[in-house]
């Protein structure tokens, strides 16, 4: 799968998950570098801490590159809820899920061993505006 196709696929999967909650607003931010990328999705859906923790667990599965490509091509057809997030979790290096003043923010980082996710983040100022 080419990088562009993979990124489009990842954006589609996370957007599908977020849209299932029927947000009034959803913002998707993508920052790409040679060694990796940061994808942030901010929505207007407030979630309870239990749901945030469930999302974190699903997105922070142990990476399974052998499964990521296979299931990545299948994702979106009949996956629901946390199953969809598990498929994403197998493909990302790390994920963080936080509650914002207006909803929820999901950060996904992908990259090689030299990739530093600290270089890829939306500032606190952006979070307050979102």
Question: How many angstroms separate the CA atoms of 89 and 6, rounded?
Answer: 14
User: Which residue(s) pair with 16 in the sheet?
Assistant: none
**CATH match of 3-112+121-129 with 3.40.605.10:** no
Mean pLDDT of the chain: 76
With a threshold of 0.85, does the pTM exceed it?
no
Which pLDDT band, with edges at 50, 70 and 90, does 125 fall under? very low
Q: How many CB atoms lie within 10 A of CB 31?
A: 14
Alpha-carbon distance of 111 to 22, in angstroms, equals 30
Give residue-wise pLDDT tens across range 35-55: 788 899 999 999 999 999 999
**What ranges do the domains of the chain cover?**
3-112+121-129
């Amino acid at each position: 799968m080419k990088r562009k196709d993979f990124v489009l696929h990842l954006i589609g999967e996370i957007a599908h998950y977020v849209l299932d909650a029927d947000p009034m607003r959803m913002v998707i931010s993508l920052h790409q570098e040679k060694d990796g990328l940061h994808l942030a999705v901010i929505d207007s859906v407030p979630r309870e801490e239990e749901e945030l923790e469930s999302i974190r667990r699903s997105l922070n599965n142990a990476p399974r590159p052998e499964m990521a490509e296979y299931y990545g091509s299948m994702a979106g057809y009949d996956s629901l809820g946390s199953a969809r997030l598990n498929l994403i979790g197998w493909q990302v290096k790390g994920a963080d899920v936080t509650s914002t003043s207006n909803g929820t923010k999901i950060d996904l980082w992908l990259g090689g061993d030299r990739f530093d996710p600290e270089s890829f983040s939306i500032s606190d100022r952006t979070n307050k505006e979102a």
